[in-house]
């Protein structure tokens, strides 16, 4: 099976940088994804890494190290609207399933 670990909560001020780590244990590995979910809303896709390295999408970046079974999501220039839960998810095989972490609640303070 798959297991993922990520911190439960992070608090930071506007304009700061936040890094959310995700470590995983899987029987196979295809890629690591990140999803954002605002309170009361649907999870939405943020980023995907299949190969080692950094992927940048605007203020958000995602990193993967396959050898370390580790990845992170970097939120830069934090804004109040970034207050949300962030989930890492891995696909362990080519069967379309994702296994999700428990989520990290990010609270941005003024």
Partner 1 sequence: DVKVTQSSRYLVKRTGEKVFLECVQDMDHENMFWYRQDPGLGLRLIYFSYDVKMKEKGDIPEGYSVSREKKERFSLILESASTNQTSMYLCASSFKGLAGIWQETQYFGPGTRLLVL
Question: Could you tell me the maximum CA-CA distance found in the chain, to the nearest angstrom?
Answer: 43
Structural tokens at position 97: 């399933």
- Pick the closer one to partner 1 by CB: 70 or 100: 100
Please report how close the Cβ of residue 110 comes to partner 1 at its closest, in angstroms: 26
Please report how close the Cβ of residue 50 comes to partner 1 at its closest, in angstroms: 7
- CB-based burial, 53-72: b 16+ in 10 Å, e otherwise: eeeeeeebbbbbeeeebebb
What is d(CA 110, CA 25) in angstroms, rounded to the nearest whole number? 36
Binding residues vs partner 1 (CB under 8 A): 1, 4, 8, 30-31, 33, 41-45, 48, 50, 87, 89, 91, 94-103
- Pick the closer one to partner 1 by CB: 18 or 103: 103
Please report how close the Cβ of residue 13 comes to partner 1 at its closest, in angstroms: 25
């Amino acid at each position: 099976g798959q297991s993922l670990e990520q911190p439960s909560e992070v608090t930071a001020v506007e304009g700061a940088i936040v890094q959310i780590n995700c470590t995983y244990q899987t029987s196979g590995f295809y890629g690591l994804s990140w999803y954002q979910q605002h309170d009361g809303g649907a999870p939405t896709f943020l980023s995907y890494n299949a190969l080692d390295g950094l992927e940048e999408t605007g203020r958000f970046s995602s990193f993967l190290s396959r050898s370390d079974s580790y990845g992170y999501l970097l939120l830069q220039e934090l804004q109040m609207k970034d207050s949300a839960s962030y989930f890492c998810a891995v696909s362990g095989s080519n069967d379309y399933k994702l296994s999700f972490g428990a989520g990290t609640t990010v609270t941005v303070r003024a």
